[in-house]
């Protein structure tokens, strides 16, 4: 079986998950080289997975058919453009850029180069979300009335990450906004509110750690998103869509399927982070990327989806700052 020769740039929190999946869980991909600005970190992952380490993206591009970019968001645009100019298929973590103009220019460069492009909205590849969305699309839920989703981290990432994350809506809520568009349809209006509650550093950065967003879809349906960086008890990602014929509820499953019963208590585990919550989705998104590139078919979630989610996240940010709802045409 032919395998896509993939190189990976960025070996931090998400990059290490991608490295393990590409090396061990993606039958259509072969991880042929990795790189990271931190040479020691790259050497550790290279030794663990028995994958060659190269010094930079240029060296990576000379040996691969496709690249996975999992570096900090501010670096994505330049790396994607370089990979596209070299004729390589690109998988890029979300968001493509912190700036709209750079997002548009980068996606135009990809288009011009004619290379496949996939953005890292992994939830679209989770077996539960994919099955639920297929049934909604098939009409089994009837008319959609209400979309609800929660995305909460147990604790916030390092301050160094936060200062270059693009802010809460662009870094966190963007996943929910993409999920909402994908499951229900286009969003025409958002209303967001936020607060910095868990740590004074959020306020110092002009950022928040807790948010509520309401959505109005083009269909007339309504939606609500709740997000937290500091939920304390664990990582939670769950979604519900209420329709005229059925309701689908995607729970937050425990990482292990046993419960511990003691007098007056019934305890089960809770995922601690996105890695524990999505053991399959991160592998599935890269397997789907490799398969689509090998088959010459467009990836399932591409540049237009990346830009639409970016615009929604920025609209949420504006809504929070201005204290009023924002229509997407505004
Ligand atoms: N899809 C998801 O669920 C998900 C989860 C977490 C992060 N992300 C996204 O992934 C990206 C990385 O996030 P993270 O949490 O892994 O960050 P991180 O800070 O943990 O890791 C980033 C890594 O990139 C390396 N790096 C920096 N500049 C580089 C360059 N020019 N070339 C090569 N390596 C470079 C750093 O040394 C570091 O190892 C962000 O864009 C973030 O939005 C997505």
| Tens digits of residue pLDDT in 52-70 | 999 999 999 999 999 999 9
Distance (Å, whole) CA 214 – CA 192: 6
What does the DSSP 8-state code read for residue 261? Answer: E
Q: At residue 93, does pLDDT exceed 70?
A: yes
Determine if ligand 1 sits within 6 Å of the CB of residue 93.
yes
Backbone φ, ψ for residue 101 (5° rounding): -60, -40
* pLDDT (mean) for 22-44: 98
Using a 6 Å cutoff on CB, does residue 14 contact ligand 1? yes
| pLDDT, tens only, 188-230 | 999 999 999 999 889 899 999 999 999 999 999 999 999 999 9
Per-residue pLDDT band for 1 (boundaries 50, 70, 90) equals confident
If pLDDT is split at 50, 70 and 90, which confidence band does 113 have? very high
- Residues paired with residue 4 on neighbouring β-strands, in sequence order: 29
Q: Which atom of ligand 1 is nearest to the CA of 71?
A: 24
Nearest to 279 by CA among 24, 76, 5, 4: 24
State residue 321 phi and psi, 5-degree precision.
-70, -35
DSSP state of 95: P
**Cα–Cα distance for residue pair 160/11, rounded to 1 Å:** 15
226 Cα: distance to centroid of ligand 1 (angstroms)? 24
Average pLDDT for 252-276: 96
- pLDDT at 330 exceeding the cut of 80: no
- Residue 143 Cβ contacting ligand 1 at under 6 Å: no
pLDDT the model gives residue 22: 98
Residue 181 to residue 38: CA distance in whole angstroms: 36
156 lines ligand 1 (CB under 6 A): no
pLDDT of residue 108: 98
Spacing, Cα 290 to ligand 1 middle (Å): 21
Give the closest residue to 15 by CA, choosing from 324, 329, 275, 308.
Answer: 275
Would you say 49 and 22 are in contact if contact means Cβ atoms under 8 Å apart?
no
pLDDT of the residue at 309: 98
Tokens 């929190």, residue located: 13
**Cα(190) to centroid(ligand 1), Å:** 28
State whether residue 296 is helix, strand or coil.
coil
Which helix H or strand E contains 236, and what residues bound it?
strand 236-243
60 vs 224: CA distance, rounded Å = 42
pLDDT digits (tens, 9 = 90+) for 68-90: 999 999 999 999 999 999 999 99
At residue 30, the pLDDT reads 98
| Whole-number pLDDT of residue 329 | 81
Q: Which atom of ligand 1 is nearest to the CA of 41?
A: 39
* Average pLDDT of the chain, as a whole number: 97
Q: What is the largest CA-CA distance in the chain?
A: 65
**Could you tell me the pTM of the whole model?**
0.97
Q: Where does residue 77 fall: left (phi above 0), alpha (psi -120 to 50 degrees), or beta otherwise? A: alpha
| Of 189, 166, 160, 162, nearest in space to 100 by CA | 166
Pocket of ligand 1 contains residue 12 by CB under 6 Å = yes
Q: Can you give the pLDDT at residue 291?
A: 98
Under the banding of pLDDT at 50, 70 and 90, the label for residue 323 is very high
CB 171 within 8 A of CB 256: no
């Amino acid at each position: 079986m032919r395998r896509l020769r993939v190189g990976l740039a960025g070996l931090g929190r998400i990059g290490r998950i991608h490295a393990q999946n590409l090396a061990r869980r993606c039958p259509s991909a072969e991880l042929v080289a990795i790189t990271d600005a931190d040479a020691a970190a790259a050497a550790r992952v290279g030794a663990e997975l028995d994958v060659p380490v190269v010094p930079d993206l240029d060296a990576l591009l000379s040996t691969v058919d496709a690249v996975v970019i999992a570096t900090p968001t501010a670096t994505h645009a330049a790396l994607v453009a370089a990979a596209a100019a070299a004729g390589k298929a690109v998988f890029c973590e979300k968001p493509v850029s912190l700036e709209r103009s750079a997002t548009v220019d980068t996606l135009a460069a990809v288009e011009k180069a004619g290379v496949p492009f996939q953005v890292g909205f992994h939830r679209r590849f989770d077996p539960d979300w994919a099955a639920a969305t297929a049934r909604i699309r098939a009409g089994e839920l009837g008319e959609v009335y209400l979309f609800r989703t929660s995305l909460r981290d147990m604790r916030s990432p390092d301050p160094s990450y936060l200062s270059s994350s693009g802010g809460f809506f662009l870094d966190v809520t963007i996943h929910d906004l993409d999920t909402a568009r994908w499951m229900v349809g286009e969003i025409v209006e958002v209303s967001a509110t936020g607060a910095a509650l868990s740590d004074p550093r959020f306020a110092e950065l002009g950022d928040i750690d807790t948010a509520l967003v309401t959505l109005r879809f083009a269909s007339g349906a309504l939606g609500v998103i709740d997000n937290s960086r500091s939920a304390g008890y664990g990582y939670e990602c769950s979604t519900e869509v209420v329709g005229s014929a059925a309701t689908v509820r995607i729970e937050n499953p425990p990482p292990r399927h046993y419960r511990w019963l003691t007098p007056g208590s019934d305890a089960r585990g809770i995922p601690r982070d996105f890695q524990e919550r999505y053991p399959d989705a991160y592998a599935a998104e890269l397997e789907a990327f490799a398969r689509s590139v090998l088959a010459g078919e467009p990836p399932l979630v591409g540049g237009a989806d990346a830009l639409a989610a970016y615009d929604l996240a920025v609209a949420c940010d504006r809504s929070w700052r201005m204290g009023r709802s924002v229509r997407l045409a505004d």
